[in-house]
Chains A and B, each alone.
Chain A
């Protein structure tokens, strides 16, 4: 039985409020808060990047897994803000958490779903008998052009998942993906900030893929909406995941534990995985969680995850996602521009 052996997250503690960003651009904060259903977003400190966030999250996952890091045979870090264009983040993580040199590693990029793609890659290696444990991480310090609509949501954070077959806290019952060439959001090489297609990012992009992937998973596993106790969708803002749930006929209450976006924003590759981690933090044994990520460009990965009896014991001593959300310090827009290297 393949599943999650340990998981953990990390969210930088700085926050900026929607009001403070709106004030700079002369925008109406209430219409933005209502439009995006978001209150504040996380901001990385000057010395935090995708590598440091990944390491913090991986250490939490390792603590829960209770395994020897030398047994990890593969590390994939998914992000669209890898510190280096050439030179992997994944080897930095491997070295920092005490892995041996006998592991395969690569950085993945698929907009906001490179982390879940990493989980699928690791699952394949384990099922194929190539490795014992694999580490998949989704983390970002998302970029946004000052004044762009993205600036209200582009945040920082990440989550790490150690996948294996022994002593799992949750079984991965199955996975399904749906991909197409859809240019809704992109950043060309050497360009500092991403571009996006405005309203095109909605129906033909996010909703099309999230819905198709989720429906595909349920069909593949012969499951229906009511079989899931919780659901987590990629959270580019606070509106899209709720609308996706409503289209799929999933009660919005099932999203609540993993609905981290309102308080930390869109952590891109970290978003759906932080939502999953937050849900696993409260889920009870034998409850089932639906996870559907979304990456622009575009694609979705869906997973059916069933919690095991081991979770209550294993998650006891690991820092919860909610603790990261609650541990915060507000910065002004001026401080934010400095922290983000804009000045």
Chain B
């Protein structure tokens, strides 16, 4: 299977007090259209990842909102899968091209989260968990991932310092990314001494509340060279689901949905984890990056923490992880994240990632998770 990415665009991620959802989406979409060198009328369909505009800003029907603002009358579909909404939107866009129905598709992801207060945002996000069996008992996402962290520490000896190193690395990478919400470097001590959120996770272990949007123009592979000399191809995609509630899973330290989605994507691309040059993984909490590097096959189960000690996942390491700064430093506008991950991989494979450029990057992977792992979607990109 082959679909090409010919345009990428992204807003700055952060607290956009003076911009609304539609402005953010339009900005990212317009940038992607300009980057692709196409015109609006060339686009056949739009898929928009958005988790919870209905609760964040009281606006449903957001796909038509955005396509209408872009002056387009094409089919526009909102795709929702909690924090994996963006990745799912990309997958639907890919399928719509593979089906032969469309030639050029706009894939977007957008979320406006700061119009509600922190407790309001926390409550919206809990919509991604099991309301009856998790939320009603007072659990929040930090506490769910704290349980994963505790179990990982217990089973494999993963340390707080190793988790902190995820945040330190991702802030370092974010410091070189013009769209990142946080561009300040931090230390392991900063992470360990930041206020406790859900033991053992402290404030700097957690991704922030963010406004932002990202967009891609994808097209039939055969058409790509017509628009760009530097196309990036999507060579594999996989998606899997699991129980919404964390406690219903076989293991707390593996997200089965991630494992299955990755296996499917690797198989489709005809490659193995060893062939991946860099990956954007879903580090909503630092422990999530450690678990992801294991589930995606970059190391054995339980050894994700060691990768941090050895610098393996640094930009100049063997398998650079979250060169963009990840959800931790770039920010996590939930519906936009999956698309932003793809934007970063495309920039890297094109050689346009500036100071955070990974040398000779040929194959990249994105890994986007919904909730505590009930949805996972993986894409593999190649030059």
Q: Which A residues are within 8 Å of any B CB, using their own CB?
A: 28, 31, 197-200, 203-204
Contacts of B114 in A (CB 8 A): 199-200
Q: Indicate if the CB atoms of B195 and A28 lie closer than 8 Å.
A: yes
Q: In the complex, which residues of chain A have a beta carbon less than 8 angstroms from the beta carbon of B136?
A: none
CB distance from A183 to the nearest CB of B (A): 11
Q: Identify A203's interface contact among B17, B118, B195, B196, CB under 8 A.
A: B17
User: Would you call the interface of chain A mostly helix, strand, loop, or mixed?
Assistant: helix
- Chain B residue at minimum C-beta to C-beta distance from A205: B17
Interface residues of B in 194-219 (CB under 8 A from A): 195-196
State which of A31, A198, A204 has its C-beta within 8 Å of the C-beta of B118: A198
Report the bound CA distance from A28 to B117 in whole Å.
22
For residue B193, which residue of chain A has the nearest CB? A31
Quick check: B117 and A203 within 8 Å, CB to CB?
no
> Which A residues are CB-close (under 8 A) to B17?
200, 203-204
A-B contact pairs, 11 of them (CB 8 A): A28-B195, A28-B196, A31-B195, A197-B117, A198-B117, A198-B118, A199-B114, A200-B17, A200-B114, A203-B15, A203-B17
**B310 is an interface residue with CB less than 8 A from chain A:** no
- In the complex, the chain B residue whose C-beta lies closest to that of A28 is B195
Q: B18 interface residue, CB < 8 Å from A? A: yes
Give complex CA distance A199, B117 in Å.
9
Complex CA gap A200/B118 in Å reads 11
Q: Which residues of A contact B195 (CB under 8 A)?
A: 28, 31
The B11-40 residues at the A interface (CB cut-off 8 A) are 15, 17-18
Cβ of A31: which chain B residues have Cβ within 8 Å of it? 195
Q: Which residues of A contact B15 (CB under 8 A)?
A: 199, 203
Query: A199-B15, A204-B18 given. 12 additional CB < 8 A pairs?
Result: A28-B195, A28-B196, A31-B195, A197-B117, A198-B117, A198-B118, A199-B114, A200-B17, A200-B114, A203-B15, A203-B17, A204-B17
For the complex of A and B, list the 10 residue pairs with the smallest distance between their C-beta atoms, beginning with the closest: A204-B17, A31-B195, A198-B117, A28-B195, A198-B118, A200-B17, A199-B15, A203-B17, A204-B18, A197-B117
Chain B residues whose CB sits within 8 angstroms of the CB of A199 once the complex forms? 15, 114
User: Which B residues touch A198, using CB under 8 A?
Assistant: 117-118
Instruction: Please report the C-alpha to C-alpha distance between residue A197 and residue B118 in the assembled complex, in whole angstroms.
Output: 10
What is the minimal beta-carbon distance from A74 to any residue of chain B, in angstroms? 38
Residues of A with C-beta under 8 A to B118: 198
Distance between A241 CB and nearest chain B CB, rounded to angstroms? 21
Could you tell me the distance between the alpha carbons of A204 and B17 in the complex, rounded to whole angstroms?
7
Residue in chain B with minimal CB distance to A197: B117
The interface residues of chain B lying within 8 Å CB-to-CB of A197 are 117
State A81–B196 Cα separation when bound (angstroms).
35
Residues of A within 8 A of B196 (CB): 28
CA gap between A197 and B15 in the complex, in Å:
13
* Bound complex: CA A127 to CA B129 (Å): 65
A200 and B114 alpha carbons, distance in the complex (Å): 8
A31 to B15: give the CA distance in the assembly, Å: 23
Residue of B nearest to A31 (CB): B195
Q: Cβ of A203: which chain B residues have Cβ within 8 Å of it?
A: 15, 17
A198 to B115, CA, bound (A): 11
Minimum CB–CB distance from B191 to chain A (whole Å) comes to 14
- For the complex formed, measure the closest distance between the CB of A329 and the CB atoms of chain B, giving whole angstroms: 31
Q: How far is the CA of A31 from the CA of B18 in the complex (A)?
A: 29
Per the bound structure, the CA–CA distance linking A197 and B17 in Å amounts to 11
8 Å CB interface, B175-198 against A: 195-196
A204 contacts which chain B residues (CB < 8 A)?
17-18
Cα A31 to Cα B202 with chains together (Å): 13
Q: How close is A142's CB to chain B, nearest CB, in angstroms?
A: 21
CA distance A203 to B17 in the complex (A): 9
Give the shortest distance, in Å, between B137 (CB) and chain A (any CB).
21
Minimum C-beta distance from B307 to chain A (A): 31
B117 contact set on A, CB distance < 8 A: 197-198
Docked CA distance A31–B114 (Å): 23
Q: How far is the CA of A199 from the CA of B17 in the complex (A)?
A: 10
- Complex Cα–Cα for A199 and B196 (A): 19
Closest-CB distance, A343 to chain B (whole angstroms): 26
A28: B residues at CB distance < 8 A: 195-196
Give complex CA distance A31, B194 in Å.
8
Complex Cα distance A200/B117, Å? 9
How far is it, in angstroms, between the C-alpha of A236 and the C-alpha of B250 when the chains are bound? 51
Chain A positions within 8 Å of B18 at CB level: 204
Report the separation of the CA atoms of residues A341 and B90 in the bound assembly, to the nearest whole angstrom. 57
How far does the alpha carbon of A185 sit from the alpha carbon of B196 in the complex, in Å? Answer: 27
Query: Chain A's nearest CB lies how many Å from the CB of B194?
Result: 8
Cα(A28)–Cα(B114), bound, Å: 25
Interface centre among B17, B18, B118, by most chain A C-beta atoms within 10 angstroms, is: B17
- Whole-angstrom distance between the Cβ of A145 and the nearest chain B Cβ: 14
Q: Closest residue to A200 on the B side, CB-wise?
A: B17
Cα A73 to Cα B196 in complex, Å, equals 56
